[in-house]
Amino acid sequence: MSVARKQQSDQGGRLLVIACGMIAREVLAVKEQLGVDHLDLTCLPAEFHFYPDRIAPAMDKAIVKAKADGYLNIFVGYADCGTGGLLDRVCEKHGVERMAGPHCFAFYQGMDAYAKVADDDMMSFYMTDFLCRQFDAFFMKPLGLDRHPELIKDYFGNYQKLVYLAQTDDPELDKVAEKAAKMLGLAYERRSTGYGDLTAELAQAAAVA
């Protein structure tokens, strides 16, 4: 058997999750929690969070590559995430499933819980563990707020509240979120969500594989 064929054979019984880089740590944490040894993870760049038009074409290429590598079971670790249905078209094209919901902020809270607060949260700025860890890299520097704090009102003036969706209990991340809310002039709320629907959906995808 050639190396290529052996690799394809080895991958056939495994589950590949192609996820947003923003949830990589969380996918691995759920994998360990569930004890799913046959789950593999690859990620698209986290910065696609700011460029949703790049998600669908990149996912299309990633799925094609995964199938060429021999994966028969693939799960998309994205919600719609601003693609306007384009990601669903890619999923339908390849016969794969994705995370339910409009974005990770929804599935972290759980879709049922999110439905109850969605209207009230229209003016809320969401943060997650990842965004707390990467606050400077994702917000301060790209938006120039470290150099021009006067721009805060331009970018965040329409928000009323910062909601920290906490996947873990980490006092250091709490401090980042609280400091961010104060700096942005927003009310602050912390919601302990854990991994929300991510756990159940990965468990279901792994059970099928």
pLDDT of residue 2: 44
CA count, 13 A, side-chain hemisphere, 15? 22
Query: Hey, what are 94's tokens?
Result: 């390849």
How confident is the model at residue 6, as a pLDDT? 45
Q: Is the pTM of this model over 0.75?
A: yes
Token pair recorded at residue 142:
């790209």
Q: Is 35 exposed, middle or buried (0-12, 13-18, 19+ CB in 10 A)?
A: exposed
Residue 183: closest CA among 158, 151, 209: 151
Per-residue pLDDT of the chain (209 residues), as tens digits, is: 444 444 454 676 899 999 999 999 999 999 999 999 999 999 999 999 999 999 999 999 999 999 999 999 999 999 999 999 999 999 999 999 999 999 999 999 999 999 999 999 999 999 999 999 999 999 999 889 989 999 999 999 999 999 999 999 999 999 999 999 999 999 999 999 999 999 999 999 999 87
The pLDDT value recorded for residue 1 is 47
Q: In this structure, what token pair is assigned to residue 205?
A: 């995808």
Check the CA dihedral 16-39-107-157 and report its sign: negative
What is the spatial distance between Cα 186 and Cα 182, in angstroms, rounded to a whole number?
6
Query: Strand 15-20's sheet: what is its strand order?
Result: 39-44, 15-20, 73-77, 97-98
* 145 half-sphere exposure, CB direction, 13 A CA radius: 16
Q: Taking a C-beta distance cutoff of 8 angstroms, is the pair 110, 193 a contact?
A: yes
Query: Maximum distance among all alpha carbons in the chain?
Result: 64
Kindly list the domain boundaries of the chain, sorted by start residue: 3-103+196-208, 111-192
pLDDT for 208: 86
CATH of domain 3-103+196-208: 3.40.50
